[in-house]
Structures are given as C-alpha cells and as structure tokens.
C-alpha cells in the first residue's frame, strides 16, 4: 500500500502525471493553491509540524488571499498532514480539516497511495472552491503545480 524504495522514485511517471493533473483540475475551480510535498521520513513526531515547516519553506503564505493548502506525505513513515493557510483555515475551521484527514486515512487504507492522494486533492479543491471560487478576470496560478520531493 505504501510503495517505497530508495532505488526507485516514489511514483511512476504516469502516477506523477495523475497527481499533478488532479491539482490542475482542482485549481481550475478556485483561486486557491494546492501543493504536494513527499519525502521518505518525517523529521518530527507530528507530521503537521513538518507540514507547517515546509509550508513556510515553500513560501506558500505569499498567496494574495492566504488560501494555499499543503498536502504532506512521509512515505516510509506512513504519515501525512494537510496544512491550510490562514485564509482557508479561517473559512473552513479546524473540524473540516480533521474530517478530511479521517477520510483520507480511510482512502489510504482501502486504495493505493496515489488514489488516496487524488481523492485528497479533490477534497481540498472542494473546500477551496466553496470559499475561494475561481474568477477568470483576476485569478492566476500563484504557485507551481508539480510535486515537491524531499529526501
């Protein structure tokens, strides 16, 4: 379920493309931004602490409406977290993200990691679309869509 090998990339080219496409699809309906960060091990006990650190390192707080969301995964440790910037977190509340995390955990247990990630991106996209709908007149892609890979 959690495929990992130091000799191989985390995802096949097709899986990578599927994940990036899910990000792009979600972002066509919102001004919000979604980023994915994948690494082998989490440096902290709590994956959310690591996600917060990465969020800052990627300068995701620089979106105009503070509506960026980072989906963090530590493959070998089987940990993940969703970290939302202040704009979207304020709009949805903590309970929303806790619910999303529970749903994602269930998907990861049932499906492959990639299917779980794509579903998670969809859930994040739904929240962003609800509170930060796309406006073709002013919206622009503020952050890259590709997956960021750590060590």
| pLDDT tens-digit series, residues 24-44 | 999 999 999 999 999 999 999
* Structural contact between residues 38 and 150, judged by C-beta atoms closer than 8 angstroms: yes
Tokens (6 digits) for 30? 């919102």
Tokens (6 digits) for 107? 């998907």
pTM: 0.91
Q: Which regions of the chain are under pLDDT 70?
A: 1-8, 111
Residues 88 and 64: their CA atoms lie apart, in Å, by: 12
Residues 128 and 32: their CA atoms lie apart, in Å, by: 6
Q: What is the pLDDT of residue 8?
A: 64
In CATH, 13-133 is 3.10.28.10 = no
First to last CA, the chain: 20
Domain boundaries, the chain: 13-133
Q: What is the pLDDT of residue 112?
A: 80
| Residues 106, 28, 123: CA angle, nearest 5 degrees | 15
């Amino acid at each position: 379920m959690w495929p990992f090998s130091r000799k191989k990339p985390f995802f096949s080219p097709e899986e990578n493309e599927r994940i990036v496409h899910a990000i792009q699809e979600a972002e066509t309906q919102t001004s919000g931004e979604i980023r994915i960060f994948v690494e082998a091990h989490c440096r902290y006990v709590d994956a959310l602490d690591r996600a917060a650190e990465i969020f800052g390192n990627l300068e995701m707080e620089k979106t105009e409406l503070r509506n960026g969301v980072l989906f963090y995964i530590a493959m070998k440790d089987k940990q993940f977290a969703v970290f939302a910037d202040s704009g979207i977190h304020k709009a949805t509340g903590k309970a929303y993200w806790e619910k999303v995390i529970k749903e994602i955990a269930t998907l990861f247990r049932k499906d492959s990691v990639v299917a779980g990630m794509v579903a998670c991106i969809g859930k994040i996209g739904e929240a962003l679309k609800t509170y930060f709908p796309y406006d073709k007149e002013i919206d622009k892609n503020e952050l890259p869509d590709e997956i960021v890979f750590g060590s």
